[in-house]
Structure 1
Amino acid sequence: MEASLTSSFFMIFSGAAVLASIALYTRQPLLIAYIALGAIIGPYGTGWVTDLKLLAEIAEFGIIFLLFLLGLDMQPKSLYSTLKKATVVALLSSLAFAAIGFGLAYSFGFNSTESLIIGAAMMFSSTIIGIKLLPTTALHHRYTGELMVGLLLLQDIIAIFVLLILFSMSQGEFSAANLLRTLVALPALIAIAFAVVRFVLLPMLTKFDRFHEYIFLLAIGWCLGMSEAAHSLGLSAEIGAFLAGISLATSPISQYIAINLKPLRDFFLILFFFSLGARFDLSVLADILVPAILLAALILILKPIIFRYLIHSMSETKKLAWDLGFRMGQISEFSLLIAYVAAEMLLIGREASHLIQATAIISFVVSSYIVVFNYPSPIGISDKLRRD
């Protein structure tokens, strides 16, 4: 008998609270707990929660709000400064990581399209893990935090472009016409977004800024409205949400909106990562375990080395370069999103999708332990390393 939505939510959030406690005690990022919970109580585990279609649709809001808040943090001036400083590092490192992923996947018999997508999924580092394990003082007041956030933002922009290309492909075939339509629709949507914000939203926010509930509703409406507009133009809802955030970033009230929407984002992200874990078919694990371990090992070893040399080439110190290299030594939640989108569009098979997911989980766990045992973090293993 299928559990009701209320019962499913009870099992998900109660179970998440238990596993999150264990994750914190073992110095792990919380998203590992949510993925593990999905694998345990999902249809391939105990089968306590089986209505994944509905939960997956609800979980989509998590990614929509994640990208909306990411856009809100992208101030045009600081973004321009970061682009000048770190673009070469972001591009060269992304190409190197993509080549590593493509080469290993192709050598294990995946076809060219699957190998390209697996390679693309290796390009990014986790914004969630990177920021969560960076001391707040370093994040807000030191150059280390500024440079790392800049590199992560640049990777996020590259990830958005990769998603654009994925949405321009159908049934494994790349369509130049689809990509051209996408590239035409994107600037049109950007122009519309900034015009609406300037002439409609900002005057309304200024007039009614005393009513906090109104600001909350307007922000959510704008985010979801842009998501729907993007979808209707052949783009993705996630890209629309990202543009909604960027267009509001210059508003003096953008940080207030970001702070107040974070709990809502976290609620849906729990469902998103749970649904990823629940969709992980454990019967496929035997087929992809060896390539997943090898790929994760390559990423965990080579990412810090590549970042170290590229960042040091920017005239940064070796100590800073190694610090950032290890903090960004895993793959990203965007990698999971790429795997999910590509599988939904039938661009990759189950084995390729599960390879990306397994590699992500392994890299999340090992990378977190490397940082916690060797670098300052809010959950450092010793008093010397524990910093907030």
Structure 2
Amino acid sequence: MDGSSITFSFFLIFTGAAIFASIALYTRQPLIIAYIALGAAIGPSGLSLVTDLKLLSDVGHVGIIFLLFLLGLDMQPSALVSTLRKSTVVGLASSGIFTLMGFGVAWLFGFSLLESLVIGAAMMFSSTIIGIKLLPTTILHHRHIGELMIGLLLLQDLLAIIVLMLLNTAGGEADPEAMGLEIALPFLALPLLGAAAWLVVRYALLPLITRFDRFHEYIFLVALGWCLGVAETAEVIGLSAEIGAFIAGISIATSPISQYIAVNLKPLRDFFLILFFFSVGARFELALLGSVLLPALILSALVLAVKPVVYRYLLKGMSEKRVLAWDLGFRLGQASEFSLLIAYVAIANSLISQSASLLIQATTIITLLASSYIVVLNYPTPIAISDRLRRD
């Protein structure tokens, strides 16, 4: 067999995922754990059966794009404005606290000032995939906790874009004026992209869908093209593909066909998310873990313990109910896929050492795994092992 063949890689990944998922279900483990464990087992750090991780990581990233597109399909534009307004204070305050926490741990373990700042910044974010995928659909779209979670995650997405642009700029030789322009660009581009998407949907997309709505394959193709097209446009103008996909979803949410699109795209989303989590496990350097194991365990424990508490008290200060505040805090009590991206970009620009990058990756993976357990075993989710907690 050709180990570099994409077909052979897909065979290994999805057959392996089916086997690992079966074991996970028999042993009452979250399925996400199975996909990450499979990546570690057959990736370069394990048996080296799958080696083209750059391609798989890029392909898997499409799953996050579809996840945000589906989220947008179920949210009306007026609800989005209200959601962001409620979550801005909590989002900014919590991000500052988590950055200081990560910076403090890194500094105590002897990392440089710049490395400590990057590690701290990586701890700001919570996982969009864990947060949204483990929240039942009825709660996500029809209850207050779903609105708050969406607002916080979208605000974190914007902050992540700024951090990534700062890292890319710091890796080059751009002057401060150009850097300021790059930071301001997303906030200028966001409303322009939203307005343009609304115009295209109203005057081009909806008339086409209305005329050819009998052809289901056509609607599916239009939805895919629209999602990926706006996502790519967003990246070109300085935003992220995730935000572009979310805007694409919101722009078509008022259409009566939006729920049909959402139902048909969910299996495709899950296909790509399996690849994403596989690539997370496969890209981790297991051989070097020992060098950062102690700081990674300490930082992971702090993330898992501090994030729920911070969200609980910040939300309580916003007059939210105590039960809701704890629920949301534990669902967002982990590092993020953006944390991994920050680690990859920072080391590619020679801003941090291999150890610093590995610390971010290890903390992210540990908290993703532990947080999945906490949520799946204690809160309602679509993939709960307990019948009492399984909701969708």
The whole-number CA distance in structure 2 between the counterparts of 1:232 and 1:367 is: 34
The whole-number CA distance in structure 1 between the counterparts of 2:383 and 2:232 is: 39
- What is the correspondence of 1:235-254 to structure 2 with a 5 Å cutoff? 235-254=239-258
The whole-number CA distance in structure 1 between the counterparts of 2:195 and 2:274 is: 33
Q: What TM-score, normalized by structure 2, do the two folds share?
A: 0.86
Contact 1:126 1:333 survives alignment (8 Å): yes
Task: Choose from 301, 315, 319 the match for 1:315.
Answer: 319
Q: Secondary structure at the match of 1:125?
A: coil
Distance verdict in 2 for CA 1:343–1:244, change over 3 Å: farther
Match of 1:24 in 2: 25
Query: Is the aligned partner of 1:197 residue 2:201?
Result: yes
Contact 1:167 1:236 survives alignment (8 Å): no
Contact 2:103 2:120 survives alignment (8 Å): yes
Shift of 1:105: 2.0
Q: What TM-score, normalized by structure 1, do the two folds share?
A: 0.86
Query: Is the aligned partner of 1:325 residue 2:323?
Result: no
Query: Is the aligned partner of 1:153 residue 2:154?
Result: no
The whole-number CA distance in structure 2 between the counterparts of 1:138 and 1:94 is: 25
- What is the correspondence of 1:1-388 to structure 2 with a 5 Å cutoff? 2-135=3-136, 138-139=139-140, 143=143, 146-167=144-165, 169-170=168-169, 172=171, 176-178=177-179, 180-181=181-182, 182-183=185-186, 184-377=188-381
The whole-number CA distance in structure 1 between the counterparts of 2:67 and 2:133 is: 15
Residues 274-330 of structure 1, C-alpha deviation per residue, up to 9 Å, x if partnerless? Answer: 122211111221122111100111111111211221222233333333333223322
Deviates more, 1:299-308 or 1:247-256: 247-256
Shift of 1:349: 3.9
Shift of 1:17: 1.2
Deviates more, 1:124-133 or 1:194-203: 124-133
The whole-number CA distance in structure 1 between the counterparts of 2:197 and 2:177 is: 26
Q: Secondary structure at the match of 1:251?
A: coil
Structure 2: unaligned runs, 5 residues or longer: none
The whole-number CA distance in structure 2 between the counterparts of 1:350 and 1:364 is: 21
The whole-number CA distance in structure 2 between the counterparts of 1:62 and 1:380 is: 21
The whole-number CA distance in structure 2 between the counterparts of 1:74 and 1:118 is: 33
Shift of 1:367: 2.6
Contact 1:28 1:365 survives alignment (8 Å): no
The whole-number CA distance in structure 2 between the counterparts of 1:37 and 1:108 is: 31
The whole-number CA distance in structure 2 between the counterparts of 1:126 and 1:167 is: 20
Shift of 1:201: 1.2
The whole-number CA distance in structure 2 between the counterparts of 1:106 and 1:386 is: 42
Q: Secondary structure at the match of 2:284?
A: coil
Contact 1:202 1:251 survives alignment (8 Å): yes
Question: Which amino acid is 1:107 matched to?
Answer: L
Distance verdict in 2 for CA 1:24–1:351, change over 3 Å: farther
Contact 1:227 1:237 survives alignment (8 Å): yes
Distance verdict in 2 for CA 1:350–1:210, change over 3 Å: farther
Structure 1: unaligned runs, 5 residues or longer: none
Deviates more, 1:58-67 or 1:205-214: 58-67
Q: Secondary structure at the match of 1:47?
A: coil
The whole-number CA distance in structure 1 between the counterparts of 2:190 and 2:140 is: 32
Question: Which amino acid is 2:300 matched to?
Answer: A
Question: Which amino acid is 2:267 matched to?
Answer: P
